[in-house]
Amino acid sequence: DGGITQSPKYLFRKEGQNVTLSCEQNLNHDAMYWYRQDPGQGLRLIYYSQIVNDFQKGDIAEGYSVSREKKESFPLTVTSAQKNPTAFYLCASTRGGGPNEKLFFGSGTQLSVL
Amino acid sequence: AQSVAQPEDQVNVAEGNPLTVKCTYSVSGNPYLFWYVQYPNRGLQFLLKYITGDNLVKGSYGFEAEFNKSQTSFHLKKPSALVSDSALYFCAVSRANAGKSTFGDGTTLTVKP
């Protein structure tokens, strides 16, 4: 089945540590996105990429970094500069990035601070 | 700037009764409107979207939504609720890029048997 795979499902970060969340898609989609979800809030866009080797900051990019070296992969690193990293992180993709396209989501990674 | 409001944090209905989850939006120009559903500890799943045309949009699992331009609303509806419909529902509006959609804060739907 085609879809988006996020790993790990649960992740724990120690003080001062960088952690990387994996996102892989086999939908052959060009555009990929990372969102942060906090309880009682909507999704907030962290970073997005519309093509390989290119990505842009979203609304809350501080303390995060990404890469897009392959079309199917869009890993997110939560750096030690992100002081409040506990959240549910969602990766998504669209075929081309147009405004009328539906988002396909992974199952998410819950990040917690030890 | 674009915004979405889901005025109800929680909606409770009895199984078999009709349900409505409300959404209002603000955007310059013509909106692209979406509904997504999220089950516990899972990603969001697409339900339906309004792009243009008929104001009543039909989607997955028997859901439908009515676009009302004058009231800037896009309420989600279902004629007969199921217990399995219990989940968190998000409304979203898009203008330039689907991934840059603005999402509402979500409405938790609970359907009681």
Where does residue A3 rank: exposed (0-12), middle (13-18), buried (19+ CB within 10 A)?
middle
Interface mutation target, options A38, A101, A104, chain B, most CBs of B under 10 Å: A101
How many A×B Cβ pairs under 8 Å? 78
CA–CA min distance B40, chain A (Å): 10
Q: Is A111's Cβ below 8 Å from some Cβ in B?
A: no
The mean pLDDT value for A87-108 works out to: 93
Structure tokens at B29: 């120009």
Q: Above 70 in pLDDT, residue A1?
A: no
From the list B70, B104, B85, B95, the residue with the least C-alpha distance to B13 is: B85
Residue A71: burial class (beta carbons within 10 Å; 0-12, 13-18, 19+): middle
Give the residue from chain A lying closest to B4, CA to CA. A42
Per CB-CB distance under 8 Å, the chain B contacts of A99 are 32, 94-98
Q: Name every chain B residue with its beta carbon within 8 A of the beta carbon of A94.
A: 98-99
Averaged pLDDT for residues B35-48: 93
Residue % of chain B over a pLDDT of 90: 81
| pLDDT tens per residue, range A31-75 | 999 999 998 888 999 999 999 999 999 999 999 999 999 999 999
Cross-strand partners of A29: none
Query: For B9-31, what is each residue's pLDDT tens digit?
Result: 999 999 999 999 999 999 988 88
From the list A95, A91, A74, the residue with the least C-alpha distance to A30 is: A95
Q: At B97, is the pLDDT very low, low, confident or very high (cuts 50, 70, 90)?
A: confident
Contact B99 A31 (CB under 8 A): yes
A63 touching B (Cβ < 8 Å): no
**Please, which residues have CB within 8 angstroms of residue A1's CB and are 6 or more apart in sequence?**
none
